[in-house]
Chains A and B, each alone.
Chain A
Amino acid sequence: DAGVIQSPRHEVTEMGQEVTLRCKPISGHNSLFWYRQTMMRGLELLIYFNNNVPIDDSGMPEDRFSAKMPNASFSTLKIQPSEPRDSAVYFCASRDRAGGSAFFGQGTRLTVV
């Protein structure tokens, strides 16, 4: 298995632009997580899907952030409009069952200038 695949690996965009991050979880995994990592705040859980349904989005910073999971093999995290404070590494992770191990993608490093 190729593992969790995220794209793009790096994204540089101007403030105000829309940014879409993509994730392909490991086949057969039924849970998907989006995290944001910064030096100051560490790994923050943004949203958690189970069987393609958003279970907990309490970590989504504000209305500028939205996430979708249209099917079991694809999820997106969208920021519109982007701001410099959104600059961070965004990780997607998937898990095959509750209490199981989470497998992370390599992350997308987002820079908003």
Chain B
Amino acid sequence: TQLLEQSPQFLSIQEGENLTVYCNSSSVFSSLQWYRQEPGEGPVLLVTVVTGGEVKKLKRLTFQFGDARKDSSLHITAAQPGDTGLYLCKYSGGSNYKLTFGKGTLLTVNP
């Protein structure tokens, strides 16, 4: 079983600060996805990374896939209260393409 470790588990910051959250595994990912889950809602896909070393940007969010495809990071610049939520990473792989999530980083951005 490929386990995804996310860190930190909780993060509380002030509006305008920058932050980085991490997703790590001892195994190689075929692809990795980041989701954001807002309170009372289901997770929503933000991005998919496939190639080792890949960097994708989504406005103030920068996603990086490690060269060895074992880890990924999400960096948020100038965080806003609307960024508050649970950030989950997920890999999709294996013979039956199960979806496996990390436990997530709960981010709170205070005004």
Contacts and interface: CB of A to CB of B under 8 A. Distances in A.
Interface of A: 4, 31, 33, 41-43, 45, 48, 50, 55-56, 91, 93, 95, 98-99, 101-107
Main secondary structure of the interface of A (DSSP, over half): strand
A99 to B, nearest CB: 6
9 contacts: A41-B103, A45-B98, A50-B96, A56-B98, A98-B97, A99-B92, A104-B42, A104-B44, A106-B42
A74 B90 CA distance: 25
Contacts of B43: 43, 91, 104
A102 B99 contact: yes
B101 interface: yes
Interface of B: 30-31, 33, 40-45, 48, 88, 90, 92, 96-104
Given A42-B101, A45-B99, A56-B96, 18 more contacts: A31-B97, A33-B99, A43-B88, A43-B101, A43-B103, A43-B104, A45-B100, A48-B98, A55-B96, A93-B42, A98-B97, A99-B92, A101-B45, A101-B48, A102-B90, A103-B45, A107-B41, A107-B42
A56 B95 CA distance: 11
A43 B43 CA distance: 10
Nearest to B45: A101
